[in-house]
Amino acid sequence: MKTMKTISRTLMIIGIMGAFVSCKSSFDAAETMELQNNRQAVYQEIISNPEHMTEFTQMAEQDQDARKIMMQSHMEMMESGKLMEMMKNNPEMKEQMKENMQNMMQNNPEMMENMRSKMTEKMMKSAEGRKKLMEAMQENPEMKKAMMQEMMQNMHNGGMMDEKENDKQ
């Protein structure tokens, strides 16, 4: 009888210890993200929940490398026309994007210069773009001054010669 009590207590202690060990929760994000299915499930959960998406975006904005990736992706969307198409269907998004771009450009002159030069370069590739650029310059004296300075700089650096040669081809 005493042996039976000892055995049952021992088994109960082993059972409880086994429960503690097996219930130990350990989460390793890197290990979880190794599998494609796990990554897809995590991504889907983030994008399907607006609160999670907002939190994720805020975290990404705090990381310099993540911000660069997001800006690069944004630029690619702008260049492909996907962003304009999305904004055409969503006026609130269009207004928000306009505000965000203005704020970012005011806070980051390097970005402003980069965006301006990319837009100018893109517009100069087509006759319609050049026409729109000329109209915008007529309406905005500051833009006209900046464009004239850039054109003068290009002429001094030989940039205009390259463009003339490209037009001939």
pLDDT by residue (tens digit) across 81-101? 777 787 788 888 878 878 877
Sorted by where each begins, the domain ranges of the chain are 99-169
**Mean pLDDT value across the chain:** 78
pTM for the predicted model, two decimal places: 0.41
Residue with tokens 């660069």: 68
Handedness of CA 19, 21, 24, 26 (dihedral sign): negative
- For residues 111 and 11, what is the distance between their CA atoms, to the nearest angstrom? 69
Determine the average pLDDT of the residues in 31-58.
Answer: 89
Q: Which two tokens stand for residue 15?
A: 């059972």
Q: Say what angle helices 36-48 and 50-62 make with each other, to 10 degrees.
A: 110
CB 60 within 8 A of CB 50: no
Question: For the residues 10-17, what does the mean pLDDT come to?
Answer: 76
pLDDT at 117: 79
Residue 137 is predicted with a pLDDT of 79
Buried b (16+ CB within 10 A) or exposed e, 34-60: eeeeeeeeeeeeeeeeeeeeeeeeeee
Q: Which among 156, 83, 91 has a CA at the least distance from the CA of 115? A: 83
| Band (104; pLDDT cuts 50, 70, 90) | confident
- Determine the pLDDT at residue 51: 92
**Is 83 within 8 Å of 77 (Cβ atoms)?**
yes
In percent, how much of the chain has pLDDT > 90? 2
CA distance linking residue 60 with residue 68, whole number of Å: 10
